[in-house]
Amino acid sequence: MRYLSTRGASGSHVSAAQAIVQGLAPDGGLFVPENFPRLTCDAISQMAGQSYQQVAKRVMGLYLDEFSAVELSAMVDAAYTDNFDDRAIAPLVPIDERESILELFHGPTLAFKDMALQMLPRLLRASIDKTGETQDVLILVATSGDTGKAALEGFADAPGTGIVVFYPKDGVSPAQELQMRTQAGRNVGVVAVEGNFDDAQTGVKRIFSDPDFAEDLAAKGYRLSSANSINWGRLLPQIAYYVWSYTQLLAQRRIASGDEVNFVVPTGNFGNILAAYYAKRMGLPVHKLICASNRNNVLTDFFRRGDYDRNRPFYKTSSPSMDILVSSNLERLLFELCDRDASTVARWMQELNTGGRYAINDALRGTLERDFYADCCDEDAAAQTIGRLWRDKQYLLDTHTAVAQAVYERYQSDTADNRQSVIVSTASPYKFAYDVLMAVDPAATANPRDPFEASDSLAACTGSAVPARIAALKCETIRHEDSCGNDGMAEAVKQVISRFV
């Protein structure tokens, strides 16, 4: 299995290990597999009843043929162990006769990013060994909230690596910010950026494309890589949990082999739902991929009109991990949509970079509509959904999953589709305790900037337990105080790595 760039640079056909170490292709494109390995319905059915680890090994092994079965097995077994608070790793919880919720928040940082970022450091270490890379790898991350802490947790004190995370100041929840700023590790740095997530993401990409910075970094003994979902090693593990959820539907006898299902995914940077699309390309029986956005609804407009336009107001919402106007992973979908015409993708990305928009034709938009349904909801609708699901079914949603639930209900109203549907739940409600509390009990009083007061009130209100990892933050020390403007990110990296031990 080789990997190529979405923008088609010559010489970009690389091994999986090379793609994982590089993170971003030299031409600025994203690495994609040269083909999609197939999973037959019989093969999927045979996985029903297997553990999450067994399914993950099977799926990832199809893309990582340069890694031995022993190597891959060791990495998977180390990634998914008692660091998750549920033995199922990603339990599938039935809500009613046609809806289930895939809980991806049982890892060490209480967010779905753990599903990939417990695996990526191990993949990266093994890839460094396979490529013969002699320099340490510096991971740069732009986060809208959850990726940052999950990446810090995964790479803290990992040999041969350093990591610097940029997050938008006042653009993440109090709990998310505390999780990052209290992170221990001799090789970690956290920097608040004056701006939004798109500013942070643009700044990281600018650093990656700066040859002078790369030369200066090499002199310090580092080469750059990424832990965002632009890195193939971050995206690949996410494919596994879509296959896993289907095998769970089979094991629970909610579907028969070959039955199509829907996946409903709260979406910001497009990596999570892209993994579901890749699973479908592999043969997973999927009817619709339902793309759920908050008020930053650039993806909804794109799927409906074929026009991607980031020139619009940016909203800070109660689902901050989705507060994104430039969805990087959409580039990979575009590559498949235009039959892997890299020159067309490169042109669209140039138009986005210079003018903030691009458009696809009606024929391509029709192709999108066969696989995707897209809608959005605002904070009020999300809050109403949290409150209603708690009252009716005693199930507590976080603010992002509430967006997905609200959009799913609209999809059902629009289509009367009664297929089994899986709502992808991306975070613990306690990471956004104040907003969830207000949705469940609007009369409650709590300080919106105090995650502990809100968490205690939410626990008292619902009879649920505050996760131990949230409660433990009370005793943690703030270790990271760095901040910078959009134009100071490269200098901030230099200052942070000068303090690495």
Q: Write the DSSP string, 292-347.
A: EE-S--HHHHHHHHSEEE--S-----S-GGG--S--TTHHHHHHHHTTT-HHHHHH
- 494 has catalytic annotation: no
- CA 139 – CA 274 distance, rounded (Å): 22
The model's pLDDT over 34-76, given as tens digits with 9 standing for 90+, comes to 999 999 999 999 999 999 999 999 999 999 999 999 999 999 9
Buried b (16+ CB within 10 A) or exposed e, 439-458: bbbeeeebeeeebbbbbbbb
Reference 476, options 207, 96, 190; nearest CA is 190
Cβ contacts of 306-310, under 8 Å, gap ≥ 24 = 306/359, 306/360, 306/361, 306/362, 306/364, 306/365, 306/368, 307/357, 307/358, 307/359, 308/348, 308/352, 308/357, 308/358, 308/359, 309/356, 309/357, 310/198, 310/352, 310/356, 310/357
Across residues 140-158, what is the average pLDDT? Answer: 92
Task: Please report the pLDDT score of residue 430 as a whole number.
Answer: 97
pLDDT at 10 over 80: no
pLDDT at 408 over 70: yes
Across residues 136-153, what is the average pLDDT? Answer: 92
Q: Which residues contact 224 (CB under 8 A, 6 or more apart)?
A: 23, 137, 138, 140, 207, 208, 214, 217
pTM value surpassing 0.85: yes
Across residues 196-205, what is the average pLDDT? Answer: 92
pLDDT at 316 over 80: yes
Other C-beta atoms closer than 10 Å to the C-beta of 307 total 13
* CA 393 to chain CA centroid, nearest Å: 27
Task: Please report the pLDDT score of residue 145 as a whole number.
Answer: 83
The model's pLDDT over 262-274, given as tens digits with 9 standing for 90+, comes to 999 999 999 999 9
Task: Please report the pLDDT score of residue 460 as a whole number.
Answer: 96
Model confidence band, residue 229 (pLDDT cutoffs 50, 70, 90):
confident
Q: Where are the beta strands (DSSP E) in 97-213?
A: 99-103, 136-142, 161-168, 188-193
Model confidence band, residue 501 (pLDDT cutoffs 50, 70, 90):
confident
Task: Please report the pLDDT score of residue 228 as a whole number.
Answer: 85
Reference 326, options 267, 385, 379; nearest CA is 267
Model confidence band, residue 11 (pLDDT cutoffs 50, 70, 90):
low
Q: Which residues contact 16 (CB under 8 A, 6 or more apart)?
A: 1, 3, 63, 64, 65, 66, 67, 127, 232
pLDDT at 377 over 90: yes
Q: DSSP per residue over 216-227, as a string?
A: HHHHTTEEEEE-
Please name the helix (run of DSSP H) or strand (run of DSSP E) that holds residue 271, with its range, or none: helix 271-282
Other C-beta atoms closer than 10 Å to the C-beta of 255 total 16
Reference 382, options 444, 274, 297; nearest CA is 297
**Mean pLDDT of the residues in the chain:** 95
Q: Please tell me which residue in 113, 149, 205, 431 is annotated as part of the active site.
A: 113
pLDDT at 473 over 80: yes
Please name the helix (run of DSSP H) or strand (run of DSSP E) that holds residue 373, with its range, or none: strand 372-376
Task: Please report the pLDDT score of residue 400 as a whole number.
Answer: 98
CA dihedral 182, 187, 193, 197 (to 10 degrees): -90
Cβ contacts of 466-473, under 8 Å, gap ≥ 24 = 466/430, 467/85, 467/110, 467/428, 467/430, 469/108, 469/109, 469/110, 470/110, 470/175, 470/428, 470/430, 470/431, 470/433, 473/175, 473/178, 473/179, 473/182
Reference 204, options 271, 123, 148, 150; nearest CA is 148
Model confidence band, residue 12 (pLDDT cutoffs 50, 70, 90):
low
- CA 286 – CA 401 distance, rounded (Å): 20
Cα angle 416, 364, 300 (rounded to 5 degrees) comes to 50
The model's pLDDT over 170-190, given as tens digits with 9 standing for 90+, comes to 899 999 999 999 999 999 999
Task: Please report the pLDDT score of residue 318 as a whole number.
Answer: 96
Phi, psi dihedrals of residue 92, rounded to the nearest 5°: -105, 115
